[in-house]
Amino acid sequence: MSDRYCVFGHPVGHSKSPRIHTVFAEQTGESLRYEAIEAPLDDFAGAWRAFVAEGGRGANVTVPFKEQAYRLADVLSPRAQRAGAVNTLMVGKHERVYGDTTDGVGLVRDLQAHAAPLEGARILVLGAGGAVRGILEPLLAANPAALMIANRTAAKAERLASDFADLGETTGGGFDAVVGTFDLVINGTSASLGGELPPLPDELFADGALAYDMMYGAEPTVFLRWAAKRGARTVDGLGMLVEQAAESFFLWRNKRPDTAAVREMLRRSR
């Protein structure tokens, strides 16, 4: 019998994760079944327990359940502890639940695949929610010259910057505090989902800068369209989705799939 895995979300019907992990399993010769489960907003823990009772061995967790998954885990990885959120669960020894987050490493690997400036770079991250919190540690581990967090609510960005200041030169503030040019600008806000753009200065991108939106869709987001008009290279978050999935797959099965082939497959099918 194949091992069972899933992705929990609400909504989750649009998720590409079942397709991604099915291809990963075919690549690596692993026997598993992966499905999408829409958990009730008020009972994520119950949905997880029911899944495990039916033989589930691990899960990806997407919005809005990442903080609930963090609280549910018996054992947390150091990076999950730092992020305060979990996107990967698995059942370990003695049925203890292990929680990890693969979003940050997924982002950095995708950035590296696109030759993004990281070491010694000036990085601007837009947004201060859970999605951003999960990517800061691996970004700072790449040794940028400076990292600024900008958010509509300045105090939230300032607190988040303070939480990670021990890892590198980190500042936070409102969008009106953004000055100068940056080598890498990452949009971690949900504004793209509503077709909105954070209020940003036109002179934002240094020569050769990359604009990265953690969101993705059939067409470039409004942020990426805006950035392209101002001379930046642009990349959406589809590769991050694949790379974080590959890291989860490795945690579960101890095998690394070919992410480049899967990224290309998904882009062709859009």
Longest dimension (CA), the chain: 57
214 in a labelled binding site: yes
244 in a labelled binding site: yes
The C-alpha atoms of residue 94 and residue 46 are separated, in whole angstroms, by: 19
Query: How far is residue 224 CA from its own chain's centroid?
Result: 17
DSSP, collapsed to helix, strand or coil, labels residue 157 as helix
Radius of gyration of the chain (CA): 18
237 in a labelled binding site: yes
Is 66 assigned a catalytic role?
A: yes
16 in a labelled binding site: yes
CA distances 117 to 113, 142, 201, 229, Å, are 11, 10, 21, 20
255 in a labelled binding site: no
Which residue type does 115 have?
A
128 in a labelled binding site: yes
Entry field: residues in the chain:
270
156 in a labelled binding site: yes
155 in a labelled binding site: yes
101 in a labelled binding site: no
Question: 179: exposed, middle or buried (C-beta count within 10 Å: 0-12, 13-18, 19+)?
Answer: exposed
129 in a labelled binding site: yes
Q: At what angle do helices 259-269 and 17-28 cross, to 10 degrees?
A: 140
Q: Which residues are catalytically annotated?
A: 66
Annotated binding residues for shikimate, written as ranges, equal: 15-17, 62, 87, 103, 216, 244
Annotated binding residues for NADP(+), written as ranges, equal: 127-131, 151-156, 214, 237
Annotated binding residues, written as ranges, equal: 15-17, 62, 87, 103, 127-131, 151-156, 214, 216, 237, 244
